[in-house]
Amino acid sequence: MRIDEIVSDSLKYPFSNNGRFLGLLALLLGSFLIIPAFFALGYLLRIVEHTIRGYDELPAFNDWDKMFVDGLKYIGANIIYLIVPTVILIVSLVGMILSVRSGNSQIVLYLFLLLIGLIIGLLFNLVYIMALGNMAHNERFGAAFEFSTIFKFIKGIGWLTYFAYVFVFFIILAILGLFFNLSLWGRIFGLAGLVVGGILYLLFTVYRNIARSRFTGLIYLNGYFSTNINTEADDTHEIEENQDFETV
């Protein structure tokens, strides 16, 4: 799929089933209770898997045990991928603050460390997108760390092309997010703006997470088919149908 097709599909996909869209909203609203957060993350991983299987509608809320376990896998992979750049960023920021307070010249060193942390964080996030797709496709936590396969799929797309796909998609999401900025609504319309802006922000949060999951599945398919040219697939880019999914 071309980048415009992937972006367009990802942006339209959240509207494929309004009832299930609101179902995810309910889970996210209950995330302060912790348990619903794992179901929400599991559902997002299910969207990735559903996309890879060739479905074009938001998946059903069923098989709750699997969805909870998928949520645990999702957060586990996320933590592992982000822990290194997060530690580097924290150390560099704390070091910069202490250097400013003490007046020593080590702030340049910590600025360099901060730059390194940002670069590593960017690279890890790029790899994590494909890793999430691999984990969803193979339904194994360890698949998120099968770097030979992950790098093969990214290489199949082309690193620069892959980066361009991700960059364009997330820039578009960021631009859309400007219209749902809570403080902006509050400054323009006051208290009523905060209420309306808050509702719109919650809806956009659900939309953004669904679109990102759809994008992850589609970009994974691009990598998969670019390195498996003999794989038979129809125009929906289906790898295989999972009959356990409810499609209506």
Q: What is the DSSP string of 73-112?
A: HHHHHHHHHHHHHHHHHHHHHHHHHHHHHHT-STHHHHHH
Q: What's the pLDDT at 34? A: 92
Out of 18-22, 198-202, 241-245, the most confident range is: 18-22
Whether 19 contacts 35, CB under 8 Å:
no
Structure tokens at 188: 């323009």
- Residue 179 class from Cβ within 10 Å (0-12 exposed, 13-18 middle, 19+ buried)? exposed
**What was the pLDDT predicted at 150?**
96
Task: Give the C-alpha separation, 202 to 81, whole Å.
Answer: 26
Residues of the chain by 3-state class (helix, strand, coil), percent to 5: 80, 0, 20
In 3D space, the residue among 73, 50, 16 whose CA is nearest the CA of residue 242 turns out to be 50
- In angstroms, rounded to a whole number, what is the distance separating the alpha carbons of residues 174 and 211? 12
Residue 237 has pLDDT above 60, yes or no: no
Rounded Cα distance, 205 and 167, in Å:
19
Structure tokens at 40: 């929400």
Give dist(CA 28, CA 49) in Å, integer.
20
Q: What pTM did the predictor assign?
A: 0.86
Give the contacts of 176 (CB within 8 A, at least 6 positions apart): 204, 208
Contact by Cβ (8 Å): 88, 117: yes
Write the pLDDT tens digit of every residue in 149-189. 999 999 999 999 999 999 999 999 999 998 888 787 878 88
The chain-wide mean pLDDT, for the chain, equals 88
Residue 244 has pLDDT above 70, yes or no: no
Mean pLDDT over residues 25-30, rounded? 94
CA distances from 24 to 28, 35, 143, 166 (A): 6, 13, 25, 24
pLDDT at 229: 62
Average pLDDT over residues 212-240: 74
pLDDT of residue 247: 35
**What is the percent of the chain where pLDDT is above 70?**
91
**Between these two residues, 77 and 187, which has the higher pLDDT value?**
77
> For residue 243, what pLDDT is reported?
40
pLDDT score of 127 more than 90 = yes
Tell me, what's the pLDDT at 62? Answer: 93
Helix (H, G, I), strand (E, B) or coil at 150: helix
Please report, rounded to a whole number, the percentage of residues in the chain having pLDDT higher than 90.
Answer: 65
Read off the pLDDT of each residue in 23-44 and give the average, rounded to a whole number. 94
Model confidence at 2, pLDDT cuts 50, 70, 90, reads confident
153 within 8 A of 220, measured Cβ to Cβ:
yes
- Residue 131 CA to residue 115 CA, distance in Å, equals 24
For residue range 54-75, list pLDDT tens digits in order: 999 999 999 999 999 999 999 9
Least trusted range by pLDDT, from 2-11, 31-40, 102-111, 228-237: 228-237
Pairwise CA distance, residues 115 & 161, whole Å: 23
